[in-house]
Structure 1
């Protein structure tokens, strides 16, 4: 069966779910949701995603929302195909994966999302960005990336020697901050730059980078 991804093709977290489907060689169908028209806030959409956010998936009647939960589900359900060990099974390796996923959730995502909100989402809403807030977010993210550079100087990926979902979780908003908005935060962090080049050059990400 084909997994149905309900969301807008260019939404960052929709593209993340599509990327993981491609990593695991899982066919998917994008069911378009016109977020700029507010379709994700309608009662019909909220029946399946009560917070009114994209994406959610329908896997042959199994409904799941929250993008990172969706990615973990796909990686574990289809563990035997595609890129191996995106969520490791060994208890110690899984613990290191969860540690790395927590690093992204606490030390990267809030700052990258905040920058994207100020510089892009506000623009779509006809609002001006708070440049003081942007500067604060950039300074915080810069300090976190200094620590990333130390970690990635000791190992290839955030959870160890193999790529996991924890690395892939950085793709959508990292691309916005480093590439679309052009904030150069990699030049003086060679280990982060090496890691970023590697994960962004994966065919699965290149296929969905512009749209799912």
Structure 2
């Protein structure tokens, strides 16, 4: 049975999973969930994703939600094919785990809220709070200054090989310019790194929206 990915085609978290599926060369069926119609809150969906958010996967009856957990499952199950995204070496894996923590606490915690304030909030009829936006932008600026130091010494966030930690930056990182945030462009090592990961064929396959590959 082909793996099924339930999500919204432009959802950041859905695309986070889809880019990993493409990197690993795993065929999947995309099952659209229309957020605009509230399908993610329907009983049939909440039965499998109790928080009522996208995405989740059905892998021959195995149900899993939370995009990073799904990505880890895919990269582990298909470790022998496609891009190696989880280091096997003890110390390399420890640095990878470190990079995973950095992405969540030093990037996503700011970037997700910044994009939500500038893009998603107005889409839902609200108004951007400029003070909140400026605070988040300043916080992200400070974290990216540290990224610049790290990436001036190595190719990727966890070392010299790409990992899931790098790919996890793509959905919200790609939306930052749309939110009026261009600080990535001012840091040469950060820019080099983000240009690298955002030019990968796997991301190009999903950045405009997720579709089935099987």
TM-score by length of 1: 0.97
Count of aligned positions: 210
Counterpart CA distance in 2 for 1:188 and 1:201 is 18
Tell me, yes or no, if structure 1 residue 65 matches structure 2 residue 61.
no
3-state SS, counterpart of residue 184 of structure 2: coil
SS in 2 for 1:157: coil
Quick check: 1:2–1:26 contact (8 Å CA) kept in 2? no
Specify every segment of 5 or more residues in structure 2 that has no aligned partner in the other structure, as ranges.
Answer: none
Partner of 2:5: 5
8 Å Cα contact 1:3-1:60 kept in structure 2: yes
Query: For structure 1, which runs of at least 5 residues remain unmatched after alignment?
Result: none
Name the residue aligned to 1:24: 24
Equivalent residue of 1:57, what SS? strand
1:19-60: CA deviation from partner (whole Å, max 9, x where unpaired): 100000001111010111111112111110010110000011
1:183 Cα deviation from its structure 2 partner: 1.7
CA contact (8 A) 2:114 2:179 kept: no
Distance 1:87 1:36 in 2: 35
Is residue 12–residue 171 contact of structure 2 (8 Å, CA) maintained in 1? Answer: yes
Q: Deviations over 1:39-84 (max 9, x none)?
A: 1112111110010110000011100000000000000100000012
Moved over 6 A (4+): none
Which residue number corresponds to residue 127 of structure 2? Answer: 128
Query: After the TM superposition, which residues 131-150 of structure 1 pair with which residues of structure 2 at under 5 Å, given as runs?
Result: 131-150=130-149
Instruction: Give the structure 2 partner of residue 89 of structure 1.
Output: 88
The correspondence of residues 71-110 of structure 1 with structure 2, limited to 5 A, is 71-84=71-84, 86-110=85-109
- Rounded to whole Å, the distance in 1 between the matches of 2:123 and 2:7 is 18
Give TM-score, length-normalised by structure 2: 0.96
Distance 1:175 1:188 in 2: 15
More relative contact order in 1 or in 2 (CA 8 Å, sep 6+)? 2
CA distance in 1, matches of 2:99, 2:67: 17
* Contact 1:168–1:199 (CA under 8 A) maintained in structure 2: yes
